[in-house]
Structure 1
Amino acid sequence: MAGQVKKIGDFTFKSVSGAAAEVLRRTLCMYVKDYVEVQPSGAVFPNYLEDWCLKYHEFPVQKDDVWVVTYPKAGTTWTQELVWCLMFDMDSEEAKLELMKRFPFFEFDSLVDSSLEVPGMRADDPMKPGNTWKILQTLKSPRTIKSHLPVALLPKQLWTAHPKIIYVCRDPRDVCVSYYFHCIKLEGYTGNFDEFVKIFIGDMITYSPIWPHILDFWRRRHQSNILFIRFEDMKEDLPAVVMKVAKFLGKAVTEEEVERLADHCSFGSMSKNLAANNETFVGDWKNHLTKEQQKAFKTWTMKYLEGSDFPFYRDYDDV
């Protein structure tokens, strides 16, 4: 498969190759037949995206949409729950629905084999292949939608309809650790942590490379319809982020409401919330990465940040 190229509309799909790609295939192909690099963007995806890319790119965007866009494991679920509760009634029956129903994962259907059958799965389960696309077609306005897609693969109307977009970034070292545990739990990863680090900084894991993903939105952060926030700020001062997001969404909140929302979206509460608890708040790279791995992260990061004014995650002086 390595090297095969397919053209679909304005997109080009090339089967990934190289050492990191071989590790990827060996350790993460339980549910995926092959991985491809997509141009434009250079991002890596399961080859199922070939069947969906044009649908996604042509998806009709509404001005009153609210999109949460992140690289995986960057605090997505946390942000989704906060946004949804600011926009709607957190005490309603709807708030008890699975987050993927009230805040659908835009490209989920392209990550799984459409023929996949899971014994006991409900017909309306949003994780059943094809169901997310159905949910998107019937979602009532104002719609709340989540995506991990890079800029080039998102719906083109995002840049003409100008809906509100909240982008969340997180230190890639913590993302890597969290993504590792996610892949073991949900994607059948069979390799070790060192192999995963090599896949991650080799820009071969699904949705990689992470730095262009972040920097493309960093360069758009001054647009009035885009709010760029950090996972670390949410962790350090969640009430302040609640107020920032509320202001961005045009929602007036009292101090008591801010306090209640911050408590509802705290680590402790989210871990007990059955409707929203599908995020792994694992990170802590300092207790997982070896000195050699930290040096590899530094070299990789500095390559991407050269010439950029992106101010975060430059604490490599002691590496």
Structure 2
Amino acid sequence: MQMICALLIFQTPELPAPLSRLSPWLDHLTMPRGEVYALLARQRHRRFIKTHTPLDGLPIDRRVTYVVTARHPLDLAVSLYHHTTNIDIARMRELTGNALPTEASAARRTLRDWLLAWIGHDTDPRTNPDSLPGVMRHLSDAWARRGAGNVVLIRYDDLCRDLEGRMRGLAERLGLAVPEPVWPGLVRAATFTRMRAGADRYVPGDGIIKNDTSFFRRGSPGAGEEILTGEEIARYHTRVAALAPPDLVAWLHAPGGPSARP
């Protein structure tokens, strides 16, 4: 999504700078706050800022469009598991003074055991936003705000299924007019394959990621359900149903179904 926003703003596959410089990750804490603010102050293009903070932790400004990308929670969890094994913990501690959160560091177990624990773990979503309760709290809040003119929800599955259509819908919501001949190049540049091939330009350059290419491990949905049995998947759905409103749950799990208004 960060790359899509960059492509729509600059309207060329050849970005003028590394993605992390064009779009700082505001709450990553690996760069001093003053440096991030100075970087943003120097920018003359339309700003697009990456954050993992849920909407209720952000100042809501009518001049800002908030784009929330929702991924199937099981796929998100599998991605988190592999992501933590690709992090240089010593480097993270050096830059931030903190190690990995407990939920993430548990990835020393097998993927299946960790995923089952992740599904069942009962934790405060406000202090552990990467937990299943944290993910569903974030998405539930965004879902409740989706009628606002400046809140956009997009499913990762829909980006995989219809990348061009979702990019065009987002451009319209952002008020960005893209010349028709430019579209094919922008869509190709946003694909998982292209981003993986150019990983060194798209992964944050703070030395925390051990292997840039491995950052783009798998682009297709379904990884979580491939690991679990039918009974375990049913247990997951029961858990999610207790954490979020039914219309959000139906939208989140719909197999290639209609997405929320882009």
The normalised TM-score by structure 2 is 0.72
CA distance in 2 between partners of 1:224 and 1:315 (Å): 24
Q: Structure 1, residues 130-162: CA drift from partner, whole Å, max 9, x if none?
A: 3465123331243210111122222x2xx2444
Aligned to 2:93: none
**Which residue among 63, 69, 85 is the counterpart of 2:7?**
85
Which residues of 2 match residues 160-309 of structure 1 at below 5 A? 160-186=61-87, 189-201=107-119, 202=121, 204=123, 206-208=129-131, 209-273=134-198, 274-277=200-203, 278-281=215-218, 283=221, 284-306=223-245, 308=247
Aligned to 2:50: 146
CA distance in 1 between partners of 2:80 and 2:4 (Å): 22
Contact 2:67/2:153, CA 8 A, preserved across alignment: yes
In the TM superposition, residue 268 of structure 1 has moved relative to its aligned partner by: 1.3
Q: Structure 1, residues 41-84: CA drift from partner, whole Å, max 9, x if none?
A: xxxxxxxxxxxxxxxxxxxxxxxxxxxxxxxxxxxxxx111101
CA distance in 2 between partners of 1:294 and 1:164 (Å): 35
Given residue 57 of structure 2, which amino acid in structure 1 is its aligned partner? L
The percentage of aligned residue pairs carrying the same residue is 21
Aligned to 1:99: 19
Given residue 112 of structure 2, which amino acid in structure 1 is its aligned partner? D
In the TM superposition, residue 311 of structure 1 has moved relative to its aligned partner by: 3.1
Aligned to 1:108: 28
In the TM superposition, residue 107 of structure 1 has moved relative to its aligned partner by: 0.6
| CA distance 1:243–1:89, change in 2 (3 Å) | closer
Given residue 175 of structure 1, which amino acid in structure 2 is its aligned partner? L
- Which secondary structure state, in structure 2, belongs to the residue aligned with residue 210 of structure 1? helix
Segments of 5+ residues of structure 2 without an aligned counterpart are: 88-99, 204-214, 256-262
Question: Which structure's residues are more often helix, by fraction?
Answer: 2
CA distance in 2 between partners of 1:306 and 1:80 (Å): 27
In the TM superposition, residue 216 of structure 1 has moved relative to its aligned partner by: 0.6
Structure with higher RCO (Cα < 8 A, 6+ apart): 2
Contact 1:172/1:210, CA 8 A, preserved across alignment: yes
Aligned to 2:92: none
Contact 1:242/1:258, CA 8 A, preserved across alignment: no
CA distance in 2 between partners of 1:289 and 1:147 (Å): 30
Q: Structure 1, residues 230-283: CA drift from partner, whole Å, max 9, x if none?
A: 111110011101111111111112333222111111121111113125444355
Contact 2:68/2:142, CA 8 A, preserved across alignment: yes
Contact 2:66/2:151, CA 8 A, preserved across alignment: yes
In the TM superposition, residue 195 of structure 1 has moved relative to its aligned partner by: 3.7
Q: Which has the larger radius of gyration?
A: 1
Q: Structure 1, residues 177-208: CA drift from partner, whole Å, max 9, x if none?
A: 11111122226642222342244322555533
| CA distance 1:135–1:183, change in 2 (3 Å) | same
Given residue 102 of structure 1, which amino acid in structure 2 is its aligned partner? L
Aligned to 1:122: none
